[in-house]
Amino acid sequence: MPELCRFSGIVIRMYMGDHAPPHFHVEYAEHEMQMSIQGRRIMKGSLPPRQARLVTEWAAAREEQLLAAWQQAARDESPGSIDPL
């Protein structure tokens, strides 16, 4: 699974050809979470509150980039990388 970004011990990934709705995967220590791109809803899992806030802030500022990465991944192309906070 390609890594989009890494910051503050948080790793953001996106599967190529993943299921809808558009979302990304987050890893932090032993925690895992999936978050929708539009609306930034937690779909599965959880993170500690501080890390969840950082990811939400990061995703809100990069929604267009995340949607473009999702479209690339949906075509089985590398989603590239996105700048950290």
What is the predicted pLDDT for the residue at 58?
A: 98
Whole-angstrom Cα distance, residue 54 to residue 75?
A: 29
What is the predicted pLDDT for the residue at 1?
A: 82
Whole-angstrom Cα distance, residue 46 to residue 34?
A: 8
Q: What is the pLDDT of residues 18-28, one digit of tens each?
A: 999 999 999 99
Structural domain spans, the chain: 3-74
- List CB contacts of 52: < 8 A, sequence separation 6 or more: 33, 42, 46
